[in-house]
Each structure stands twice: as C-alpha cells, then as structure tokens.
C-alpha cells in the first residue's frame, strides 16, 4: 500500500493566497457599498468566488490574486469567464429577484496595491 501523498506546497500556497485575495475583494466591495450574499458558490458549471448585491444589481464576481500587477493583466481568460457566466446563470434565480440586474465582474488583487474592480467583464 502506498503512503498518502503529501499536499503539493505550491498548490497549498496558491489556495491560501486565493482565499486571502477573495477576503480582500469582499472587504473592497463592502467599502464600496456592496452586500456580500455568498462566497465560493459551487455549481456543476463552475464556481463563483463572490456574489454581491448593491441595490437592484447582483454581481457574480471572479477574483484573481497574483503576485504582481503585470501577472494580473493575464489572469482573466475567456474560458474562465465563460464558466463563471454559466455558474451565474444557474445561480441567478437563487440570488436575484424580478427587476434585478445581473452582471459578471472581476476583482484583481495584488500585494501592496488597491484592488481593481472590473465591471461587466462578460457580455456573452
């Protein structure tokens, strides 16, 4: 019988940094008047990092945390955003009501920088 594999240190670190980035993004949204409805919501289509509401607007937010600003510019791709959009479609009835607007946003987080909130990152 093989001994259990120890966790990959790079993966463990990335997970820890990702969670810290999501906490920073949630804090940023709250400062901007958003109410956090849920975090890390999983669906068969993919995961939404943050679901937030401000007034009649519900945002499904993808959070990217990278070591530096330059890496953040490459962090979002169409494939990942399509999965977030598919997950948001599944979750919309749970978090949005009649008359609410829905959009897909992203928040980019790097150490030593203020988070960047990108609105309407998916128009598909």
Tell me whether strands 35-43 and 116-118 are parallel, antiparallel or unpaired: unpaired
What global pTM score does this model have? 0.87
Domain boundaries, the chain: 9-118
Write down the CATH number for the domain with range 9-118: 3.40.1350.10
**What is the chain's pLDDT, residue by residue, as a tens digit (124 residues)?**
666 666 777 777 777 777 889 999 999 999 999 999 999 999 999 999 999 999 999 999 999 999 888 888 788 889 989 999 999 999 999 999 999 999 999 999 998 899 999 999 987 6
Q: Which two tokens stand for residue 22?
A: 């999501």
């Amino acid at each position: 019988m093989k001994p259990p594999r120890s966790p990959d240190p790079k993966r463990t670190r990335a997970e820890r940094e990702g969670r810290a980035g999501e906490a920073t993004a949630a804090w940023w949204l709250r400062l901007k008047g958003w109410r956090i409805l849920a975090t890390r919501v999983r669906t068969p289509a993919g995961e939404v990092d943050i679901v937030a509401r401000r007034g009649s607007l519900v945002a499904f937010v993808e959070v990217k945390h990278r070591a530096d600003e330059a890496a953040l510019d490459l962090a979002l791709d169409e494939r990942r955003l399509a999965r977030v959009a598919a997950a948001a479609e599944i979750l919309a009835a749970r978090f949005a009501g009649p008359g609410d607007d829905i959009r897909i946003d992203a928040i980019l987080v790097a150490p030593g920088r203020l988070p960047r909130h990108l609105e309407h990152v998916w128009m598909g």
